[in-house]
Amino acid sequence: MATQGQLNSLKNIAQRFRTVDNEKLLRPSLGEEALKVEFTPTIQDLRNKFDFASEYAPNVHDTYITPVVQVFEQICSQIEAQASRSNAEHWGNVVYYLTI
């Protein structure tokens, strides 16, 4: 079974993901350079994966939870970084961001 520490880590990362400002991340005001069209389905898919992992993590050993937490941490860090960029930086990173 997963330890409480790993469950807390997963919960904290899921909370960070849910608190990212989607307007800043997707930038619909940028028109063609916005991520809204390309990335909205991915955001929903990630939400589903966070929900799935959170629901079943208590029944899984830490050996399997640790890599999931690490991947979610990387995803969350990238999303937070993209949301915090200025419009010019955002525009310059859109192609890279969509390929990771």
pTM, whole model, 2 decimals? 0.82
Q: Tell me the per-residue pLDDT of 13-62, one tens digit each, with 9 for 90 and over.
A: 999 999 999 888 888 777 766 677 778 888 899 999 999 999 999 999 99
pLDDT above 80: residue 83? yes
The whole-number pLDDT of residue 33 equals 62
Q: Which residue has the tokens 């859109």?
A: 94
Instruction: Encode the chain in three state secondary structure.
Output: CCCHHHHHHHHHHHHHHHCCCHHHHHCHHHHHHCCHHHHHHHHHHHHHHHHHHHHHHHHCCHHHHHHHHHHHHHHHHHHHHHHHCCHHHHHHHHHHHHHC
